[in-house]
Amino acid sequence: MLSKLAKSINLSSTLAISARAKKLEKEGVDVIGLSAGEPDSDTPDFIKEAARKALRDGLTKYTPAGGMPELRKAAAEKLKKENGLNYSPQEVMINCGAKHSLFNVIMCLTEKGEEVIIPSPYWVSYPEMVKAAGGVPVFADCLSSDSFKLTPEILREKITGRTKLLIINSPSNPSGCVYTKEELSKIAEIVLENDIYVISDEIYEKHVYEGSFFSIASLSEEIKKRTIIINGVSKAYSMTGWRIGYAAGGEKLISACIKLQSHSTSNPTSFAQAGALEALTSDKSEKAVSDMIEKFKERRDYIYGELSKMNPIEVTKPRGAFYIFPRIKSLTHTGSSTEFANKFLEEKHVAVIPGEGFGAGGYIRISYAAQTDLIKEGIERLKSFLGEKDRV
Ligand SMILES: Cc1ncc(COP(=O)(O)O)c(C=O)c1O
């Protein structure tokens, strides 16, 4: 009964383990959740208040399909102010989360059989979206010795006559790597030489702990024309449940995506857009974000310090996002971290995400978007779990 497409889509591995952890919690088990893909703090109150006000004022009807004009303008202004990028509001669209921005863009760019290069480890949804669009995901395996970043050599090897797109995610989920301007320049050169497009997923832009964030689109007018920026309010302002993301790119592509969106979700939720507008424009936002980032940096330092002292583990220092991606040395590269994560959850009641879903068996993703005492307890349980037996 199911279509070939429906049969080919995998369940998100991040959601699978979180569901199991929630079930255990319901049964009264004291679970330490280190699997979350969202900040642990609540949405700042001034943002909530803007949405409450929108509801009181009757902003309860459909908005234009591409989002409220004020919000498209605010996102364009943000890109100008923070990233030095000139986009008109018509070159920006608002979607139901950055995931939906990505989905729209991949659907509107990818022809059946065209290849999309995805540096691995990668965020779980990219390959599934490419498959849904009829494209072919091509994985470019990145090395821990390169901090899991795509090198020019690896990129060149993967480009064929069928390549349409490259997806760059900096800071990265799951590895936490952050590309420098120099690294992006080399990638941009190859993109331009080969006439392909780049999706730059910048959803963790604010979560950078060393150096600063740089968007590949800021390199030159030429690469900007070949780039589609994806961003949103989920991670930066603790607004994951609000489902507001945005994309910026050429007007032709953005208009096509809006048409597609008009036949799927109609528009992103009206009062959630009002909250996102406040997040992008309020003078209170900068402090709210920097307070959160400071906490994340402390946690990152703690967890990296602890993991790097543990013998059974090999770990690269993440420079951004809120994940750390250690390799469990006793595991082979062929996919036993699912078993590891399942046993760790069953025996020690700690939820982490197995690396397979990110294209990297042998690794686990630990999220430090959790209170420090929980992270500490999680680390103690990991030490005890690894110390108990040979976990191959
Ligand atoms: C790399 C990456 N891109 C995009 C998203 C989607 O974010 P949103 O909540 O705005 O849909 C996520 C969420 O986990 C992510 O990790």
Q: Are residues 33 and 70 both part of a single domain?
A: no
State if residue 37 touches ligand 1 by the CB under 6 angstroms criterion: yes
Q: Are residues 272 and 298 both part of a single domain?
A: no
Segment 164-188 shows an average pLDDT of 98
Total domains in the fold of the chain? 2
Q: Are residues 298 and 277 both part of a single domain?
A: no
Distance 9 CA to ligand 1 centre (A): 18
Range of the domain at 196: 61-281
CATH of the domain at 104: 3.40.640.10
Domain boundary among 227, 246, 281: 281
For residues 218 and 221, give the distance between their C-alpha atoms in angstroms, rounded to a whole number. 8
Residue 100 CA: which ligand 1 atom is closest? Answer: 11
Q: What is the pLDDT of residue 14?
A: 75
Q: Are residues 151 and 251 both part of a single domain?
A: yes
Q: Are residues 97 and 212 both part of a single domain?
A: yes
Residue 101 CA: which ligand 1 atom is closest? Answer: 11
State if residue 245 touches ligand 1 by the CB under 6 angstroms criterion: yes
Structural domain contains residue 51: no
Structural domain contains residue 291: yes
Structural domain contains residue 275: yes
Q: Are residues 292 and 271 both part of a single domain?
A: no
The string of pLDDT tens digits covering residues 287-316 is 999 999 999 999 999 999 999 999 999 999
By most ligand atoms within 8 Å of CB, the mutation choice from 43, 234, 244 for ligand 1 is 234
Rounded (10°) angle between helices 251-262 and 98-109? 110
Domain boundary among 257, 281, 305: 281
Q: What is the pLDDT of residue 12?
A: 76
Distance 33 CA to ligand 1 centre (A): 19
State if residue 97 touches ligand 1 by the CB under 6 angstroms criterion: yes
Distance 235 CA to ligand 1 centre (A): 8
Neighbouring CB atoms inside 10 A of 30's CB total 8
Q: What is the pLDDT of residue 57?
A: 98
The string of pLDDT tens digits covering residues 12-45 is 777 788 888 989 999 999 999 999 899 999 999 9
Structural domain contains residue 55: no
Question: 231: which residues sit within 8 A by CB, 6+ positions away?
Answer: 75, 98, 101, 202, 203, 205, 245, 246, 247, 248
State if residue 173 touches ligand 1 by the CB under 6 angstroms criterion: yes
Q: Are residues 139 and 232 both part of a single domain?
A: yes
pLDDT interval class at 143 (50, 70, 90): very high
Backbone angles phi, psi at 366, to 5 degrees: -110, 130
Residue 4 has pLDDT above 90, yes or no: no
Q: What is the pLDDT of residue 334?
A: 57
- What's the DSSP call for residue 330? T
Q: Are residues 233 and 338 both part of a single domain?
A: no
Structural domain contains residue 149: yes
CATH of the domain at 302: 3.90.1150.10
Structural domain contains residue 48: no
Q: Are residues 252 and 307 both part of a single domain?
A: no
State if residue 168 touches ligand 1 by the CB under 6 angstroms criterion: no
Domain boundary among 243, 264, 281: 281
The string of pLDDT tens digits covering residues 315-360 is 999 999 999 999 998 875 555 888 899 999 999 999 999 999 999 9
Structural domain contains residue 391: no
Helix (H, G, I), strand (E, B) or coil at 252: helix
Residue 392 has pLDDT above 50, yes or no: no
The string of pLDDT tens digits covering residues 181-212 is 999 999 999 999 999 999 999 999 999 999 99
- What's the DSSP call for residue 11? P
- Token pair 């950055």 in the structure block, residue: 98
Q: Are residues 330 and 246 both part of a single domain?
A: no
C-beta of residue 8 within 8 angstroms of C-beta of residue 131: yes
Residue 390 has pLDDT above 60, yes or no: no
**Taken in order 330, 334, 337, 343, is the CA torsion positive or negative?**
negative
The string of pLDDT tens digits covering residues 109-135 is 999 999 999 999 999 999 999 999 999
Q: What is the pLDDT of residue 203?
A: 98
The string of pLDDT tens digits covering residues 240-283 is 999 999 999 999 999 999 999 999 999 999 999 999 999 999 99
State if residue 98 touches ligand 1 by the CB under 6 angstroms criterion: yes
By most ligand atoms within 8 Å of CB, the mutation choice from 123, 206, 233, 239 for ligand 1 is 123
State if residue 201 touches ligand 1 by the CB under 6 angstroms criterion: yes
Q: Are residues 204 and 297 both part of a single domain?
A: no
Structural domain contains residue 50: no
Segment 52-63 shows an average pLDDT of 98
Q: Are residues 136 and 228 both part of a single domain?
A: yes
